[in-house]
Amino acid sequence: MDTPAESGARTGSRAAPRARSRRGGGRHGRALAASAGAGVVVAAALALSGCTSGTSSATSSTQKVSANTVIHRKMVIETGKMDGKPGWPRFIPAGFSAPAGATIVLTIVNYDDGTAPLPPTSPWGQVWGSDATFGAVTGGTELVNGSKVTAISNQLVSHTFEIPALLVNIPIPAASSSSHPVTVTYTFRVNKTGTFLWICAAPCGSGSAGMGGAMGANGWMRGYVHIT
């Protein structure tokens, strides 16, 4: 089954490699246009994808530590040029581990100054992750260079860090230049153990829809979060 992010993003078309803009809302995006029930729609779709994709596995709802335990994790997004593979932007490292129940402060430093715009009705410009039934608890906000936001304009999104099975989505804007990265900080807790797939929902890869290359490659625009 396609995740909402994948099905929505595949339908766009891609322009210049640097701007990586694309058109088209995608069927998922259009379904969410009347946004009143959008959260429910996304939640249901994500629940299905999480259960059937075979790429994430959750076990018990065991909290191993308390929320007072604060775990700092950091990922850096490098451009393909920076790591010698032009056109292949990459999260480094492509995953991390943390104990269930801990407060995870995830810092993502983006050196990529290119955008990969989402369709106008895409939900992936929003910060997601405030529904405890999915096992993740957040305030639904992120800090962008220290300023609290609930969304990034879809046009300005460079990448996202999305964990479909946990209903987590962290939209990441483009760096102002490749030497002036943007820093996004997101604080959350995961109250169950498991190995959870994360993906980037922005079409930052190769091919006409921007979904090839890095987008489909573990270790580039997808990987795993291990909650132990």
The residue written with tokens 């996004």 in the block is 184
Rg of the chain over CA atoms, in angstroms?
16
Could you say whether residue 108 binds Cu ion (CB under 5 A)? Answer: no
Q: Binders of Cu ion: how many residues, by CB under 5 A?
A: 5
CA 108 to chain CA centroid, Å, is 11
CB under 5 A: which stretch of 23-31, 58-66, 90-98, 220-228 binds Cu ion?
220-228
Q: Which is nearer to Cu ion, 10 or 159 (CB)?
A: 159
In angstroms, what CA-CA distances link 194 with 34, 133, 152, 181, 228?
A: 34, 15, 29, 31, 7
The residue nearest Cu ion at its CB is: 200
Single residue of 221, 224, 225, 227 touching Cu ion by CB under 5 A = 221
Min dist. Cβ of residue 213 to Cu ion (A): 10
What residues contact 142, with CB distance under 8 A and at least 6 apart?
127, 148, 149, 170, 171, 184, 185, 186
Single residue of 5, 98, 166, 200 touching Cu ion by CB under 5 A = 200
Q: Which is nearer to Cu ion, 79 or 185 (CB)?
A: 79
Say if CB 200 and CB 160 are below 8 A apart.
yes
Residues 50-69 that bind Cu ion (CB under 5 A): none
Min dist. Cβ of residue 221 to Cu ion (A): 5
Could you say whether residue 46 binds Cu ion (CB under 5 A)? Answer: no
Could you say whether residue 104 binds Cu ion (CB under 5 A)? Answer: no
Residues 149-188 that bind Cu ion (CB under 5 A): 159
Min dist. Cβ of residue 160 to Cu ion (A): 7
Min dist. Cβ of residue 77 to Cu ion (A): 8
Q: Which is nearer to Cu ion, 45 or 200 (CB)?
A: 200
CB under 5 A: which stretch of 7-15, 27-35, 128-136, 213-221 binds Cu ion?
213-221
Which stretch of DSSP H or E encloses residue 20?
none
Question: For residue 84, what is the DSSP state?
Answer: T
CA 181 to chain CA centroid, Å, is 18
Q: What is the DSSP string of 114-168?
A: ---PPPTT-GGGB-B---GGGTEEE-S-EEETTEEESB--GGGEEEEEEEGGGTE
Single residue of 32, 136, 197, 204 touching Cu ion by CB under 5 A = 204
List of residues contacting Cu ion (CB under 5 A)? 159, 200, 202, 204, 221
